[in-house]
Structure 1
Amino acid sequence: MQPDRAPKFVISGGGTGGHIFPAIAIADELRRLRPDAEFLFVGAKGRMEMEKVPAAGYPIEGLWISGLQRRLAVDNLSFPVKVLSSLFRSRTILQEFRPDAVVGTGGYAGGPVLYAAARMGIPTLIQEPNAFAGLANKWLGGKVDKVCVAFGGMAEFFPADKLVITGNPVREQLLDRARELPGDARPTVLLMGGSGGARSLNEAMAASTDQLAARPQVQWVWQCGKHYLDQFRDCASARLPNVTISAFLDKMDEAYANADVVIGRAGSTTIAEIEYLGKPAILVPSPWVAEDHQTKNAEALTRADAALLVADDRVSQDLVRTALELLDDDNRRRKLGDNARALAKPGAVHRIATEVLNLISSPTKNSLHAAV
């Protein structure tokens, strides 16, 4: 890019909060470092990024793209058409916006736009958050210029000369507020099912009314997800005075500050936030994600004695009991929290943004001159 011109960035991340919030965090940090920068997000039509990104103050374009179903489905017949349409649309967006770099954090739209950008000679970077890379990022790894990762051993999936261990970007301002808040004096368990909710975690809570009622001094903050609130809001467990159920947690800083134990899936963002705060945690990897990558994420922590793991098929029997046992063991909680904090990589979002800026300062890339 020309040194006197404001930089432009295209960022793609969507489908889940684990892709969207890191993408927004990277944009925020790039904006902090280069206040004159212009941004355009690219997402998938009908996915949650089409709401969350504008709410964060950034424009977004939507592609007609979705994932390939892992079972036989009629929707799979349109998948090749969607890919070709998204590639064409991505090229048009890039030609019109003329970005200096394209950044991807995962989601359906990332593949087409990053592939098109790489073919057009635009500097490209992907952020791989998991300990086991997904198929799309593995495929893109050989085509992009830089791959930012959170775990070691990722040369198994990507060219070693493109790898940079940066850690996963987290909402550091929010988490720093959580550290400063006094917290609740009552013992508290925070259960997070993610933006969409986790059926097995919700079913475990619904099946544990007697255990929850037997310890009325223990507060349970139960984030069940928007898809499950109507199903579980009136169950016996949810009606207990020591249980608070909600679809979302609007004040995550307060929720984290109050939590003595955190329960959640083993997505990369959840793990990064647990590590940043040094919270003792019980992880329940989702069995439904690609390549079972959440189990790999959780095992990276359990090997370091930095979290406990409860298998999804044992959650109704073991989850609440394990949480109460951990709540009663101060030394165990302290050790898990200390070990989790030792794995944290504060400043990850700054390192990623710096890698992006380094890419656009390189004279070796000549944007928009190669053909798709």
Structure 2
Amino acid sequence: MGSYRFILSGGGTGGHIYPAVAIANELKKRHPDAKFLFVGAKDKMEMEKVPQAGYEIKGLWISGIQRKLTLKNLMFPFKVISSLLEARKIVKQFKPHVAIGTGGFASGPLLRMAASAGIPCVLQEQNSFAGITNKLLAGKAEKICVAYDGMERFFPKEKIVKTGNPVRMDLVGQKSGKEEALGFFGLDAKKKTVLILGGSLGARRINQLVQKELKFFEGQGLQVLWQCGKLYVEEYKTYDSDSVKVLAFVNRMDLAYAAADVIISRAGAGSVSELCLVGKPVIFIPSPNVAEDHQTQNANALVSKEAAIMLRESELDAEFEQKFTELMDSKELQSQLRTNIKKLAMPKATEHIVDEIEKLLK
């Protein structure tokens, strides 16, 4: 037997790319001489992110269906046919032992062709509400790795394995000290810190909220670590001060989490899984502009276990200050949220997913 060959596909957003890279890294650790090939969508961020992680990637001419009738939609059938033919060629040439899909459009054609060539397929679904591509592929997969309970609504029960989502290794295990963290960001050790996370690009509605509430935070004697995103940093950096630190991007997430007493965040699957490991009180403000409103579903899965607080964008003006004050005034609520969110952490997710992949190599 020569070395193993793994083909991985997932992309469109960091939420699909990051898990695919984490799985590849773990496979590589166990099989140093294995060959890897990623397949993505030609014009999406995986074409840049995957090579940065040190892996080869091929792009397919594919995109999602737009919600309204557009020229792009008229091209859709052609893109699908083109992608299926290209995917079949890639599978034939590369001859993978296992194909792994982490969601996103490109994984559709690739896993479909891998399955029809008799190659075992593993799917990884990050969200509590399954994505369309994974739902379409479920029948062809040997195993479906999920992060939430109740996924038999979408997938055949006997294929589901609850593994959790891959999270950044630098967050597992290493516990940065609070003092070091506060020093790193130039924050005051005597004040409580609110960490605001809007994702790498930023979240307009969360930024508008923070801007409006800066006086309120100040009145509460709080300091703010505000990751506003690279699209918004020009607009908000004027608010940078001793007690408000405005950042486009947080390079040391471990230190940001260590500095935080309370966290306000979007509810993408990756963020939710990370925040379970971090174990601090969280207020989720889900993005309403994502497919199938899955961020609201992700946040709800925690709220139902009394592990987080959720506010919809439409409720912010009316309810934010009251909900936030209730949380800051109640040691009991803070402690309940910390305890319950930690119970949901699955730090060994990547290893479990790779265990399932290895079973198919026999």
In the alignment, does 2:67 pair up with 1:66?
no
State whether residues 54 and 60 of structure 1, in contact with CA within 8 Å, keep that contact through their aligned partners in structure 2. yes
Tell me by how many angstroms 1:327 deviates. Answer: 3.4
- The answer as to whether partners of 1:282 and 1:309 remain within 8 angstroms in 2 is yes
Alignment of 1:252-331 (within 5 A): 252-319=253-320, 322-331=323-332
State the AA in 1 paired with 2:9.
Answer: S
Quote the Cα distance in structure 1 between the aligned partners of 2:214 and 2:140.
52
The equivalences for 1:31-42 within 5 A come to 31-42=28-39
Asked whether 1:149 is paired with 2:146, we answer: yes
Q: 1:7 aligns with which of 4, 17, 36?
A: 4
TM-score of the pair, normalised by structure 1: 0.90
Pairwise CA distance, 1:11: 1.1
Amino acid paired to 2:91: L
Q: Separation in 1 of the partners of 2:169 and 2:263? A: 18
- Candidates 198, 209, 213, aligned match of 1:193: 198
Q: C-alpha displacement at 1:311, in angstroms? A: 0.8
Deviation sequence 1:277-301 (CA, Å, 0-9, x none):
2121111111111222211111111
Whole-angstrom distance in 1 between the partners of 2:177 and 2:142: 39
Change (3 A) 1:357 1:320: farther
Query: Distance between the aligned counterparts of 2:23 and 2:178, measured in 1?
Result: 25
Q: How many residues align?
A: 354
1:218 aligned onto 2:222: yes
Q: Note the C-alpha offset of 1:330.
A: 2.7
Q: Does the aligned pair in 2 maintain the 1:201–1:315 contact within 8 Å?
A: no
Q: Which moved more, 1:205-214 or 1:38-47?
A: 205-214
C-alpha separation in 2, matches of 1:220 and 1:176: 26
Q: Given residue 197 of structure 1, which amino acid in structure 2 is its aligned partner? A: G
In 2, Cα distance between equivalents of 1:179 and 1:207: 31
Task: Please tell me whether the aligned partners of residues 178 and 256 of structure 1 are also in contact (alpha carbons under 8 angstroms).
Answer: no
Q: Is the contact between residue 176 and residue 255 of structure 2 (CA under 8 Å) also seen in structure 1?
A: no
| Deviation digits for residues 163-199 of structure 1 (CA, Å, limit 9, x no counterpart) | 1111111113333224566543331111111122212
TM-score, normalised on structure 2? 0.92
1:103 CA drift (Å):
0.7
Structure 1 equivalent of residue 27 of structure 2: 30
Aligned to 2:210: 205
- Tell me which amino acid in the other structure corresponds to 1:278: G
1:71 deviates by: 2.3
Contact persistence 1:126–1:137 (CA under 8 A): yes
Residue 120 of structure 1: CA displacement? 1.1
Residues 192-215 of structure 1 show CA distances to partners (whole Å, capped at 9, x for unaligned) of: 111222121111112223213324
> Can you list the C-alpha shifts for 1:121-173, whole angstroms capped at 9, x where unaligned?
11111101111112221111111111011111111111111111111111133
| Correspondence for 2:185 | none
Larger deviation, residues 303-312 vs 131-140: 131-140
Pairing 1:171–2:168 present: yes
- Give how far 1:326 is off: 2.4
CA drift at 1:316 = 4.1
Residues 261 and 47 of structure 1, relative CA distance in 2, 3 Å threshold: same
* One-letter code aligned to 2:211: A
Q: CA deviation at 1:349?
A: 0.6
2:106 to 93, 105, 109: 109
In the alignment, is the contact (CA less than 8 A) between 1:307 and 1:340 conserved in 2? yes
3-state DSSP of counterpart to 1:249: coil
**Corresponding residue SS for 1:189:** strand
Contact residue 103 and residue 131 of structure 2 kept, 8 A: no
Give the superposition deviation at 1:240.
4.3
Query: Does residue 233 of the first structure (1) align with residue 223 of the second (2)?
Result: no
**Aligned-pair CA distance for 1:304:** 0.8
Measure the CA separation in 1 of the matches of 2:323 and 2:173.
Answer: 28
CA-to-aligned-CA distance 1:92-127 (integer Å, 9 cap, x gap): 111121111111111221111111111111111110
Query: Which residue is 1:50 aligned to?
Result: 47
Q: 1:233 is paired with a residue of what secondary structure?
A: helix
> Which residue does the alignment assign to 2:137?
140
In 2, Cα distance between equivalents of 1:240 and 1:354: 48
Q: Secondary structure at the match of 2:37?
A: strand
The letter of the residue matching 1:327 is M
1:208 is paired with a residue whose SS is helix
The alignment's C-alpha RMSD in Å is 1.8
* Distance in 1, Cα, partners of 2:74 & 2:281: 45
- Seen in structure 2, the aligned counterparts of structure 1 residues 47 and 209 have a Cα distance that, compared at 3 Å, is same
Identity of aligned residues (%): 47
Q: What is the distance in 1 between the residues matched to 2:172 and 2:328?
A: 22
Cα gap change, 1:71 to 1:243, in 2 (>3 Å): farther
Structure 2 alignment gaps of length 5 or more: 183-188
